[in-house]
């Protein structure tokens, strides 16, 4: 039977690998699994952390707010798939925020709300004259893993790398260099494959 490598299954693997009679408290292992997952995601701008999301330019509305699953907006296209021009937020505020000119949106910029979840806001110039569809290339947010259903955004075939990376970090913390080296080798074997696939996706975008 194929394993989905949910958070529950990843912690089960960590319990098995770390050994009976050692630190197998699931809450503690969950923290290390999150640490391992975060370390992998921070290593590079992985292809699977990006997505194309549809949205609507709203008539007479100069900005839209994306959801909690969006870390950043990378590109914007209009209804005809034409890319809009990006501008730094400070320049945008200086040149365009005071204006009320309307028309088809041409320029966009982003800022993050002063909010615990740091929601991404995209502002437009010109202010849309009609409600039309658009598309955005977004960078996703990895919600903290839990056993209630939140799993890694890492593709299924590579997810156990997060468990091994977590075990590596845990072994390093406990000064078990031999175990850390073993877990690192198992994580790196998968990460090499992930990086090769990432290179293929990056080449495809270019």
- Could you give the count of Cα atoms lying within 13 Å of 141 in the half-sphere of its Cβ? 14
Q: From first to last of the 206 residues of the chain, give the pLDDT tens digit.
A: 567 899 999 999 999 988 654 555 889 999 999 999 999 999 999 999 999 999 999 999 999 999 999 999 999 999 999 999 999 999 999 998 778 899 999 999 999 887 667 899 999 999 999 999 999 999 999 999 999 999 999 999 999 999 999 999 999 998 788 899 999 999 999 999 999 999 999 876 65
What is the pairing mode between strands 70-77 and 85-86? unpaired
Neighbours of 54 (CB within 10 A): 8
Quick check: bond before 126 cis, omega within 30? yes
What is the pTM assigned to this prediction? 0.86
CB distance 191 to 40 below 8 Å = yes
Beta bridge partners of 136: 53, 76
User: How far from 149 is each of 7, 32, 35, 152, 170, CA to CA, in Å?
Assistant: 7, 17, 18, 10, 23
Indicate the domain borders of the chain.
Answer: 7-46+154-205, 47-140
For 158, residues 6+ apart whose C-beta sits below 8 A from its C-beta are 190, 191, 193, 194
């Amino acid at each position: 039977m194929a394993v989905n490598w949910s958070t529950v299954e990843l912690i089960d693997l960590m319990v098995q690998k770390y050994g009976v009679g050692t630190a197998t408290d699931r809450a503690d292992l969950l923290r290390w699994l999150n640490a391992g997952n975060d370390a992998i995601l921070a290593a590079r701008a992985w292809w699977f952390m990006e997505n194309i999301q549809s949205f609507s330019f709203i008539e007479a509305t100069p900005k839209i707010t994306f959801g909690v699953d969006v870390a950043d907006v990378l590109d914007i296209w209009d209804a005809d798939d034409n890319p809009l021009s990006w501008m730094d937020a400070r320049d945008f505020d200086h040149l365009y925020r005071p204006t009320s000119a309307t028309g088809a949106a041409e320029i966009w910029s982003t800022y993050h709300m002063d909010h615990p979840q740091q929601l991404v806001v995209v502002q437009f110039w010109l202010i849309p004259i009609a409600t039309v569809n658009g598309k955005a290339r977004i960078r996703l947010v990895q919600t903290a893993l839990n056993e209630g259903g939140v799993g890694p955004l890492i593709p299924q075939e590579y997810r156990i790398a997060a468990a091994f990376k977590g075990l590596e970090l845990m072994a390093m913390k406990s000064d078990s260099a031999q175990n850390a080296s073993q877990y690192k080798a198992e994580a790196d074997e998968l990460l090499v494959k992930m990086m090769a696939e990432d290179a293929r996706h990056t080449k495809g975008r270019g």
